[in-house]
């Protein structure tokens, strides 16, 4: 790894030379004095009154930009991170917060974006969403207030909105230093807002870099009718700034009322469904996500990616083996270099060829990366695998041959995926398991799978859980540990210039590796009562069969030769979803139950299923999370 430590300014350009396409080559190297950069705050009027105080809300935008172009009337593009976390839970692996001097001027900007990019001719703008940190109004967890908070700042940077020098009153401030070209970036909630703003089609937003980001808030809190047990009003109360005097109780009640506990997809979720609005996106999109992210489940990047493809959006994607982790903390040098070229191309119009490079980069083993020309993989095709009963109850065959037989399990709401997968050759009262034989050649699962289940419940309510499992030894990132696949060290590397109160240096990280006997490739959950519609439950009649298709999480995973691919189906996975009111026994019609997988490679029609290893197996335990950071 090439380690960069404390870049020095090579030269301060003469007055008149600015970071524009005409002098684009200069933007690829540090040329401006970071310590002397302009630091300021403006408050942008977003035209909404979220806290109902009779005054339109203003969001605080903290800005750091090079002084040299400003002195000569030059203009620079903007890298923006809009977040609710700058004074609540912090940003990055080292939990950084914004800081200010005794006059309220911004000093410390979390993360390295300002340290690295301002010397290279960019402005960095960190926006407090309405209702957070120094902004007025109320956060609405991905709704119109959140999205408008960032969109209106882009409008201001393009001369279409008004900003002021103070939180109330003050004088109007123009962004005459901005080219109007904006790139949004951020992890988790921040990247989610980037998705939401891009889905408005706002003019001036040239690119977004969503990291571990949500594309549909429904799929953060719910899954095909099933609920994860946490709700948006709780997140709102975590991040709202109560020191400004605003009363957000009315907004929080709207969140609580709109997020119905029955798991139905309603108007609140439709407003926050950016994937459904992907046709409006004009900006390029560089996605990063961990395939083991159990916080922002990977269905979020998969459906967003597919929607962007349908809209013809230029895209790039990195998929790691980590959980909810920023690529700066698992592949630092390559990430910063790639991000730098991405912003140079889309914000400064530099012809550096990045748009012609491989579309997808996937981590196959810890720190072992492979490029692909496309995601999903070009040779992956939708393959239906069927279930055949075996001689052991609840254990059978997964293959391309016709399905047959029946099986049953009881939802006790006491166990979850690891207990279900750990003894694959044994009957379990809680789940059923169907497996290929040992594969003669590797197969690649690349894209978003789905399961169709025909089940007869013994009660009037039922949940379903399903997962794809790769049985065989592997080294993987230990995504269930505290670092979600990384270990943080004590040494530091520096990524840009330092200034008083604004450090560019960050602790190094390394892969946290675990040896396992099986890998859960993809997961999904559903409420059988939503078999007809996600928008409205249908009553279940005990003893009546119901068919339902639900999604498994998006991924890209190679099952090596000699391993087995299995489908596991159970009731309530207690590690993730809430149980039904009346726990049922569920009987499956295997002839009408199948899994549809985007698969590259061949799976036999009907291998023997009794070759699975006996006894408990080692695995990294998964975990759900309601902590969106």
Helix (H, G, I), strand (E, B) or coil at 314: coil
Token representation of residue 489: 């060290």
Is 188 considered catalytic here?
yes
Q: Which of 33, 128, 324, 556 is catalytic?
A: 324
Other C-beta atoms within 10 Å of 368: how many?
Answer: 11
Tokens found for residue 430: 């809680």
- The question of whether 324 is a catalytic residue gets the answer yes
How many whole angstroms separate alpha carbon 417 and alpha carbon 573? 6
The residue assigned the tokens 């979720």 is 269
Q: What are phi and psi of 459, to 5 degrees?
A: -130, -175
Contact (CB, 8 A) for 273 and 300: no
The token pair that represents 39 in the structure block: 């630091």
Known catalytic residue: 563?
A: no
Q: Give the angle subtended at the CA of 449 by the CAs of 444 and 454, to the nearest 5°.
A: 130
Q: Cα separation of 203 and 384, whole Å?
A: 42
- Residue 429 main-chain phi, psi, to 5 deg: -70, -15
**Over the range 574-587, which residues count as b (16 or more CB within 10 Å of their CB) and which as e?**
bbbbbbbeebbbbb
Q: Give the number of other CB atoms < 10 A from CB of residue 414.
A: 11
CA 378 to CA 121: how far, in whole Å? 38
> What phi, psi does 449 have (nearest 5°)?
-95, 170
Instruction: Say how far apart CA 284 and CA 331 lie, in whole Å.
Output: 22
- What span, in angstroms and rounded, lies between the C-alpha atoms of 568 and 552? 12
Burial grade of 623 (CB within 10 A; 0-12, 13-18, 19 or more): middle
Cβ neighbours around 35 below 10 Å, total: 12
Name the active-site residue from 114, 231, 293, 411: 293
Q: CA-based angle 549:261:51, to the nearest 5?
A: 125
For residues 342, 347, 353, 355, the Cα torsion angle rounded to the nearest 10 degrees is 70
- Are 449 and 578 within 8 A, CB to CB? no
Residue 4 CB neighbours (<10 A): 16
Q: Which of the residues 83, 188, 212, 554 is marked catalytic?
A: 188
Q: What residues are annotated to the active site?
A: 188, 293, 324
């Amino acid at each position: 790894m090439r380690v960069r430590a404390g870049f020095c300014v090579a030269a301060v350009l003469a007055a008149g030379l600015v970071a524009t396409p005409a002098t684009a080559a200069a933007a690829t190297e540090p040329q401006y004095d970071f310590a002397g950069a302009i630091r300021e705050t403006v408050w942008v009027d977003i035209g909404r009154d979220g806290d109902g105080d009779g005054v339109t809300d203003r969001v605080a935008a903290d800005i750091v930009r090079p002084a040299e172009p400003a002195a000569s009337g030059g203009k620079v593009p903007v890298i923006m991170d809009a977040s609710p976390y700058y004074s609540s839970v912090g940003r990055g692996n080292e939990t950084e917060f914004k800081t200010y001097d005794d006059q309220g001027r911004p000093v410390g900007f979390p993360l390295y974006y300002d340290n690295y990019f301002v010397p290279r001719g960019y402005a960095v703008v960190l926006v407090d969403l309405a209702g957070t940190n120094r902004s007025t109004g109320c956060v609405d967890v991905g709704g119109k207030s959140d999205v408008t908070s960032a969109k209106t700042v882009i409008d201001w940077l393009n001369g279409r909105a008004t900003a002021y020098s103070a939180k109330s009153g003050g004088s109007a401030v123009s962004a005459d230093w901005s080219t109007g070209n904006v790139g949004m970036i951020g992890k988790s909630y921040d990247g989610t807002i980037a998705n939401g703003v891009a889905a408005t089609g706002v003019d001036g937003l040239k690119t977004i870099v969503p990291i571990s980001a949500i594309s549909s808030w429904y799929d953060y809190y719910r899954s095909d009718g099933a609920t994860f047990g946490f709700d948006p009003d709780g997140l709102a109360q975590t991040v709202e700034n109560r020191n400004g005097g605003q009363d957000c109780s009315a907004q929080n009640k709207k969140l609580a009322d709109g997020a119905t506990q029955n798991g139905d997809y309603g108007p609140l979720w439709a407003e926050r469904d950016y994937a459904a609005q992907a046709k409006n996106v004009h900006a390029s999109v560089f996605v990063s996500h961990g395939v083991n992210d159990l916080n922002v489940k990977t269905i979020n990047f998969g459906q967003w990616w597919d929607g962007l493809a349908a809209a013809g959006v230029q895209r790039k994607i990195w998929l790691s083996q980590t959980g909810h982790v920023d690529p700066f903390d698992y592949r630092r040098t390559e990430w910063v270099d790639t991000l730098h070229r991405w912003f140079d191309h889309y914000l400064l119009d530099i012809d550096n060829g990045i748009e012609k490079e491989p579309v997808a980069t996937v981590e196959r083993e810890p720190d072992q990366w492979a490029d692909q020309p496309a995601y999903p993989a070009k040779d992956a095709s939708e393959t239906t695998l069927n279930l055949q009963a075996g001689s052991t109850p609840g254990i059978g065959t997964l293959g391309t041959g016709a399905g047959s037989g029946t099986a049953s399990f009881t939802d006790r709401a006491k166990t979850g995926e690891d207990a279900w997968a750990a003894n694959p050759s044994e009957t379990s009262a809680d789940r059923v398991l169907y497996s290929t034989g040992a594969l003669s050649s590797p197969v690649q699962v690349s894209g978003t799978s789905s399961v169709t289940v025909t089940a007869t419940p013994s009660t009037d309510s039922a949940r379903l859980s399903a997962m794809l499992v790769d049985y065989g030894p592997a080294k993987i990132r230990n995504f269930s540990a505290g670092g979600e696949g990384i270990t943080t060290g004590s040494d530091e590397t520096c990524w840009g210039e330092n200034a008083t109160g604004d450090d560019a240096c960050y602790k190094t990280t390394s892969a946290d590796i675990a040896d396992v006997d099986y890998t859960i490739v993809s997961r999904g959950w559903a409420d059988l009562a939503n078999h007809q519609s996600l928008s409205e439950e249908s009553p279940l009649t005990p003893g009546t069969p119901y068919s339902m298709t639900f999604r498994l999480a998006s991924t890209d995973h190679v099952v090596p030769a000699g391993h087995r691919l299995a489908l596991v189906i159970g009731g309530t996975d207690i590690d993730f979803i809430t149980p039904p009111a009346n726990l049922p026994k569920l009987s499956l019609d295997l002839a009408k139950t199948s899994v549809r997988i985007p698969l590259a490679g061949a799976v036999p029609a009907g291998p023997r299923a009794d070759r699975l290893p006996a006894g408990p197996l080692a695995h990294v335990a998964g975990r759900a999370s309601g902590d969106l950071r």
